[in-house]
Amino acid sequence: MRSWITGKEGKRFFIYLIWIFLSIYTLFPIYWLFLVSARTRIELFGHPTFFQTTFYIENFTRPLLNDIYGSYIFNSVIIATGNTILVIICAIFAAYALSRYRFKGANNIFFWTITNRMAPPAAFMFPLFLLYSRVLVVGDIRFFDTHIGMILVYCLFNLPFSIWLLKGIVDGIPISIDEAARIDGASTLGIIWRIIVPLSAPGIAVALILSWIFAWNEYLFAATLTSSNARTITTGLAEFVTIVGTNWGEMAAMALVSVIPPLLFLSFVQKYIVAGMTFGAVSE
Amino acid sequence: MMPALVILVFVGLIPFIYVLYVGYFDWSIFSKVRGMSWAGLNNYRRLVFDSAFNASLRRTILFTVLTVSIEMVLGILIANLLMIKIRGMSFFRAIHSLPLTVAPIALGAAWRLMTLPGMGPLPYYLQKMGLDFNIGRYAQQAFFTTVIMDVWHWTPFITLTFLAGLSSLPKSPFESAMVDGAKGWQIQFYITLPMLKPVILTMLFLRIMDALRIVDEVWMLTGGGPGTATRYIGIHIWRVVFPKTDYGYGSAMSVIILYFTIVLCWFLNIIVTQSRKGVAR
């Protein structure tokens, strides 16, 4: 007779154990953020404990209401949302063109857009900083530290990503539907708006949400290309670490706040995130 | 196509050409001549003999090799363990995709709070085990902490991708192998892994490119220190060249890195495309 532990039930139990262990391991740093954000300065030091019964709300209220962090979050929302809208509109047209028309150099253009996504931001940061602050200047008007400047910069990695994702989906829509619509007298714009957009709506939603999350999370460009007007929440987080000392509780609180919107969106895209982040190479 | 191209030319191509151009000039606030002066290939010559730059390049490559290999092996192992379908799978998957959506800078903050001496749990318990853990002081500990952090960050992604890849495989080759009496590890090595080759290569491609450009988490965790122990190439450009306002030299550095990236990207892209064609046949 087989014992319980080597049987099917035992195996299943074992797998549950692994999942639970891995989940705790994955969640722990986020949980630690929460713990630190709930503690006062005095509670932070000494013997580390893993549970908390009191909640020190001032870690949240002071930076958000009395400091500049409220406006940082506002900037982040504007930049991420503006960038996402721009990216999706452009990506739909680009994906349609790359998928439906055979033109010379299409593969090269496609590869070039992908290298933009893959290139280290540190390499682009330098010329962009010079262009934004010194070269593309008309009088007092420049791109440095403006929302529109940041919205454009994030296209550098969000646009290739969205084009790649949407091209795969548009490729899957049979071209005969296009042709039928064209015989009925639809223009190219009409085809895109009435056929391509509704049929690829789930893909567009995934591209939309993931682009938004990437723009929200981005740090390096935001740190170099903004100074005060268009600072985002991620740069604000890094500003907590100063020479004179860091208010760890408030930093944890703001980190937690910056984590919440992506987590809310995650529940919508969780099924597609693997497909999205591998550029459609793997799908569930 | 047009609007996307216009934007990409503006934020991608123009900076690229501009950085090529500036790379041939001496241009810094502290240089003798005000503004730009022609320097030829001097910036590139300086770069070849710049020991700090070369060291950070080597460090970045070591970091990439370490993290990507650990992540791939761990990810594949865990995915194989978890192949059996259970109830609540989607819940656990959601938890595993969590590090992917959280801002790297917030993750860096979380790890910093965990490793802070006198406050975080890691130094406290390692101290009890007799290890003086202080990433602000010991270079090697800081380096390996960044490696562990990256492994923590990306292994779940590889596990999830592999689970997706494994579940999309057809059943018949496995059944016939079972009938022929193949052992578990034989099936693994001769059937599963070859069939998943495109997935593996795609993951390698993405992970290598991502690991090479790491900045955010490490910047938040160690700030590139102690000394230069975790100053990877992105941090090097950002923290060393920027404050010195040595624009010509920084541009040369950016050009070299972009060049490496494009060549590597092109090379890996060819391998990935080839492997997909092979499977389709």
Q: pLDDT by residue (tens digit) across B76-109?
A: 888 887 777 777 777 888 888 888 888 899 999 8
DSSP B183: -
Q: Which of A14, A16, A19 to mutate to test the interface with B (most CBs of B within 10 A)?
A: A19
Q: Which of residues 160-199 of A touch B (CB under 8 A)?
A: 160, 163
pLDDT-based confidence at residue B279 (cuts at 50, 70, 90): low
Q: What is the CATH number of domain A67-277?
A: 1.10.3720.10
Q: Structure tokens of B58?
A: 């080597």
Q: Kindly report which listed range (A223-227, A276-280, B60-64, B138-142) carries the lowest average pLDDT score.
A: A276-280
Residue-level length of chain B = 281
Of B109, B167, B266, the CB nearest to A255: B109
The answer for residues whose C-beta is within 8 angstroms of residue B251's C-beta and 6 or more apart is A126, A127, A130, B19, B20, B22, B23, B43
Q: Is the Cβ–Cβ distance between A246 and A222 less than 8 Å?
A: no
Of A130, A153, A279, the CB nearest to B11: A153
Cβ contacts of B206 on chain A, cutoff 8 Å:
277-279
Q: CB-hemisphere CA count at 13 Å for B262?
A: 14
Q: Which of A148, A264, A282 to mutate to test the interface with B (most CBs of B within 10 A)?
A: A282
Domain segments of chain B: what residues?
2-280
CA A242, CA B281: separation in Å to the nearest integer?
58
Domain segments of chain A: what residues?
1-56, 67-277
pLDDT given at position A1: 45
Cβ contacts of A131 on chain B, cutoff 8 Å:
14-15, 18
CA B196, CA B275: separation in Å to the nearest integer?
10
Q: Is A93 on the interface with B (CB under 8 A)?
A: yes
pLDDT given at position B63: 94
Average predicted confidence (pLDDT) for chain B: 83
Q: Where are the extended beta strands (E) located within B49-197?
A: none
The residue of chain B with its CA nearest to that of A274 is: B161
CB atoms within 10 A of CB A4: 10
Q: Is A85 on the interface with B (CB under 8 A)?
A: no
pLDDT given at position A281: 61
Q: What is the mean pLDDT of each run of 10 residues along chain A (284 residues)?
A: 60 84 89 88 77 81 84 92 93 88 78 78 83 78 86 89 85 86 86 88 87 90 86 87 77 90 81 70 58
User: In what helix (H) or strand (E) does residue B37 lie, and over which residues does it extend?
Assistant: strand B37-38
- Helix count (H) and strand count (E) of chain B? 17, 2
User: In what helix (H) or strand (E) does residue A163 lie, and over which residues does it extend?
Assistant: helix A147-171
pLDDT-based confidence at residue B281 (cuts at 50, 70, 90): very low
pTM of structure: 0.87
- The CATH superfamily assigned to B2-280 is MetI-like (1.10.3720.10)
Helix, strand, coil percentages, rounded to 5, for chain B? 75, 0, 25
Q: What are phi and psi of B141, to 5 degrees?
A: -60, -40
pLDDT: which is higher, B34 or A75: A75
pLDDT given at position B33: 60
* Most confidently modeled range among A253-267, B60-74, B175-189: B60-74
